[in-house]
């Protein structure tokens, strides 16, 4: 990770302490849940996690409206380390399927919580 990567994460609201914690990943559950209000922001955040987490083989799952819900369910069942989601679609998954659990979430990030 270089200085520019850290700046990009800061611009997206992701703190560097969270990146450092990724080195302590539990491979058997969702480590961090990032809730964001927009589809575009969810993809930007997920892209940055994927880029910076590549050396760690970080698995990222995006859960947003407008995507195939069955495909998202299959990705959630694979126990990603990071889930970047819009609240409404995540609620649909929580109430509609039992293929994943949020029991092991260590960090919850509410991006743009003032919206």
The CATH number of the domain holding residue 73 is 3.40.50.300
Report if residue 115 sits inside a domain: no
Which domain covers residue 87, as residue numbers?
A: 3-110
Report if residue 15 sits inside a domain: yes
pLDDT in tens, 74-103: 999 888 999 999 999 999 998 887 778 888
The model's confidence at residue 18, banded by pLDDT at 50, 70 and 90, is low
**pTM for this one?**
0.76
DSSP letters for 30-54: --EEEE-S-HHHHHHHHHHHHHHHG
Number of domains in the chain: 1
Give the residue from 60, 98, 94 showing the smallest Cα distance to 80: 60
Report if residue 16 sits inside a domain: yes
Give the residue from 62, 47, 36 showing the smallest Cα distance to 9: 47
pLDDT in tens, 25-78: 556 678 899 999 999 999 999 999 999 888 878 899 999 988 888 899 999 988
């Amino acid at each position: 990770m270089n200085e520019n990567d850290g700046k990009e994460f800061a611009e997206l609201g992701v703190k560097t302490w969270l990146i450092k914690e990724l080195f302590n990943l539990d491979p058997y559950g969702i480590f961090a849940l990032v809730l964001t209000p927009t589809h575009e922001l969810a993809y930007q955040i997920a892209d940055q996690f994927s880029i910076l987490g590549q050396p760690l083989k970080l698995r990222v799952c995006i859960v947003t409206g407008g995507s195939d819900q069955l495909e998202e369910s299959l990705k959630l069942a694979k126990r990603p380390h990071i889930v970047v989601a819009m609240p409404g679609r995540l609620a649909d998954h929580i109430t509609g399927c039992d293929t994943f659990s949020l029991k092991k979430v260590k960090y919850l990030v509410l991006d743009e919580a003032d919206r």
